[in-house]
Amino acid sequence: MWLLTTLLLWVPVGGQAVNVTKAVVTLQPPWVSIFLKENVTLWCEGSRLPGDSSTQWFINGTILPISTPGYSITKAMLKDSGEYSCRTGLSMLSDPVQLEIHKDWLLLQASRRVLTEGEPLALRCHGWQSKLVYNVFFYRDGKYFQSSQGSEVTILQTNLSHTGIYHCSGIGKNYQRYTSAGMSVTVKELFTAPVLTSSLPSPFLEGSPVTLSCETKLLLQSPGLPLYFSFYVGSKILEDRNTSSEYHIPSAEREDSGLYWCEVATEDGSILKHSPELELRILGPQSSAPVWFHTIFYMSMGIIFLVDTILCVKIHKKFQRKKNYNLEVLLVSDQGKKDTSS
């Protein structure tokens, strides 16, 4: 689990920097809500000195009289509900895990209440006293999203759209459809979608050095998390999975103009986000006027030439017709003169 390795924190101890990890509470079976009288074991995972298995357990911030890595709750009672956290010899206090004990016909069980995008989420529609439930439907925010032949589904890679209130329904005894209560699940963003920026505002003259920066923000306190940056222009890869968030063009040429974008990914590629496109326009040395100016200039010249030609042809034709008419009039009047004279 890469998240475990990314929870590394720098803690100065006696003037010396020592890597101390946060402990993690896991459940077995994994469900954070269970029925009354069911069993669950909580485990505390964290660094320990060799030979030291001692563990501290807390419920609602109060220390429990237990020092084993596993804490078993058998035949859970309502008073076992609470926020559990733990600590081992070489670890910091874990994030709390909220365990709820319920009494109902049907229970929506989830493997986590709060998780980070990319992590899996298991859901189960569980009948009271493990009675069989058929034809199970799962809902998020009141909308059906999946059915299951069994009573369990897993979302392998969660994203932000999986945040919501989950419930389930299923057919139980007397062929009646039962509906569970809702349970809130929150998926947290690990890093923001990146934004690509250029060290020079576009357009600029060719020959200039340019640096493109792919900027993202890590939202969890996980400074050790390695991120990989890729840079593209159009569909062409410029730089593939580098740990540097910058891409340098030592001397930008006119042909380097185009639509640039970048992508940020985790080491295993389970989370991948890309930036909007950034247009770079690089101008040649003589042409200080941008390309659109030339286009419009030549197009207008072309149109003027075309209109001129058409006008010329029309005027010429009109002129010729007038000439013919004058000639006719001349001939007719000549004829008249001849007629009257004869």
Out of 51, 149, 161, 255, the residue judged to bind ligand NAG by CB under 6 A: 161
Which distant-in-sequence residues (6+ apart) come within 8 Å of 248 by Cβ? 209, 210, 211, 212
- Answer for which of 184, 186, 221, 244 binds ligand NAG (CB under 6 A) is 244
Q: Give the containing element (helix H, strand E) for 187.
A: strand 183-188
Question: Is 89 or 203 the residue whose CB approaches ligand NAG more closely?
Answer: 89
H or E segment and range at residue 204? strand 204-205
CA–CA distance, 262 with 52 (Å, rounded to integer): 47
Q: Which of residues 266-325 bind ligand NAG (CB under 6 A)?
A: none
Q: What angle do CA 235, 236, 238 make, to 5 degrees?
A: 135
One of 11, 28, 30, 39 touching ligand NAG (CB under 6 A)? 39
Distance of closest approach, residue 26 Cβ to ligand NAG, in angstroms: 19
**Helices and strands (H, E) in the chain, number of each type:** 2, 30
Query: Checking DSSP bridges between strand 227-233 and strand 258-266, what pairing results, if any?
Result: antiparallel
Closest CB to ligand NAG among 82 and 182?
82
For 247, how many CA atoms within 13 A lie in the half-sphere containing its CB? 23
**x/- contact string, 187-216, with ligand NAG (CB under 6 A)?**
------------------------------
| Distance in Å, CB of 162 to ligand NAG, minimum | 7
Nearer to ligand NAG (CB atom), residue 155 or residue 265: 155
Q: Is the dihedral of CA 56, 60, 65, 70 positive or negative?
A: negative
* Contacting ligand NAG within 46-75 (CB under 6 A): 59-60, 74-75
Residue 79 binding ligand NAG, by CB under 6 A: yes
- Whether 183 and 163 have beta carbons less than 8 Å apart is answered as no
**Closer CB to ligand NAG, 65 or 285, in the complex:** 65
Which residues of this protein are in contact with ligand NAG, per CB under 6 A? 8, 17-19, 38-39, 59-60, 74-75, 79, 81-82, 155, 159, 161, 224, 242, 244, 248
